[in-house]
Amino acid sequence: MAVEQHVDHVIVTCKAQSYKAKNIIIATPPVLASKIHYTPQLPVKRAKLLQSMIMGAVIKVHLAYNKPFWRHQKLNGAVVATDRAVSVVFDQSPQNESHGVLLGLIEGDYAVELSALDADTRRKRVIADYVYYFGHQAAHPLEYVEQDWLTEEWSQGGYVAHMPPGAMTTYGDCIREPFDRIHWAGTETATEWTGYLDGALQSGIRAAKEVINKQAI
């Protein structure tokens, strides 16, 4: 993909098509935005910022059961741990309790480790952690669904890009700074709820206002 800026317009060239616009808003993950070919080249600070902001490592799993059995044991289904692969668990059962659903998150080094396993082995590791937390009733879920964000082509990780030590103080002040006709959005650029949909929405509204205000001048 390429972005070519001119005096009064921008050309965005994709694999099979080109588009012309007065301005553009780039809201892709920084690691992917850094791979776009820019003409003229991005300012050094912006380029280094995008290259520095790497995505986290996360696998999300949902396990469904015929009922939220943990509630009947007076448990809330919430877990936070540091010594198991599934380090965070939430109860996501429907309100009517027609089924029980436990959402689990595998993060950091554990996510990298489990992502390298075959699907069946990974499933067994996850279920073993659920059994450790909730007992033998967790051993046979009706359904097991996983999302390995490390293997996603268009995000290459989750939940959000983060800055290693020194990146924010060296490059961070340009994170929302337009480059001529290129404006920047995405949850990483939010001033509140960075990493969440709320932050993504805030960033989109801010970038859209920038473009609108530019047209009004």
Whether residue 64 sits in one domain with residue 46: no
Does residue 156 form part of some domain?
A: no
Assign 204 a pLDDT band (cuts: 50, 70, 90): very high
How far apart are alpha carbons 11 and 104 in whole angstroms?
42
Last residue of a domain, one of 105, 121, 151: 151
Mean pLDDT of all residues in 78-97: 96
Greatest pairwise CA separation for the chain in angstroms: 67
Does residue 171 form part of some domain?
A: yes
Q: Can you give the pLDDT at residue 144? A: 98
Model pTM score: 0.86
How far apart are alpha carbons 73 and 7 in whole angstroms?
67
Does residue 199 form part of some domain?
A: yes
Assign 217 a pLDDT band (cuts: 50, 70, 90): low
Q: Can you give the pLDDT at residue 6? A: 96
Q: Can you give the pLDDT at residue 61? A: 98
Q: Can you give the pLDDT at residue 39? A: 98
Pairing of strands 182-184, 24-26: parallel
User: Beta-carbon neighbour count of residue 195 at 10 Å?
Assistant: 16
pLDDT, tens digit, 9 for 90 and up, residues 59-76: 999 999 999 999 999 999
Last residue of a domain, one of 95, 127, 151: 151
Whether residue 72 sits in one domain with residue 44: no
Q: Is the pLDDT of residue 215 over 90?
A: no
Mean pLDDT of all residues in 131-156: 96
Q: Is 154 left (phi over 0), alpha (psi -120 to 50) or beta?
A: alpha
Whether residue 67 sits in one domain with residue 34: no
Q: Supply the CATH number for residue 180's domain.
A: 3.50.50.60
Q: Can you give the pLDDT at residue 79? A: 97
Whether residue 185 sits in one domain with residue 100: no
Mean pLDDT of all residues in 167-179: 96
Assign 210 a pLDDT band (cuts: 50, 70, 90): very high
**Cβ–Cβ < 8 Å for 192, 170:** no
Q: Can you give the pLDDT at residue 148? A: 97
**Cβ–Cβ < 8 Å for 29, 184:** no
Mean pLDDT of the chain: 96
Mean pLDDT of all residues in 146-172: 94
| Tally of structural domains, the chain | 2
Q: Which domain holds residue 129?
A: 58-151
Q: Is the pLDDT of residue 77 over 90?
A: yes
How far apart are alpha carbons 187 and 93 in whole angstroms?
27
Does residue 35 form part of some domain?
A: yes
Q: Supply the CATH number for residue 116's domain.
A: 3.90.660.10
Last residue of a domain, one of 151, 171, 201: 151
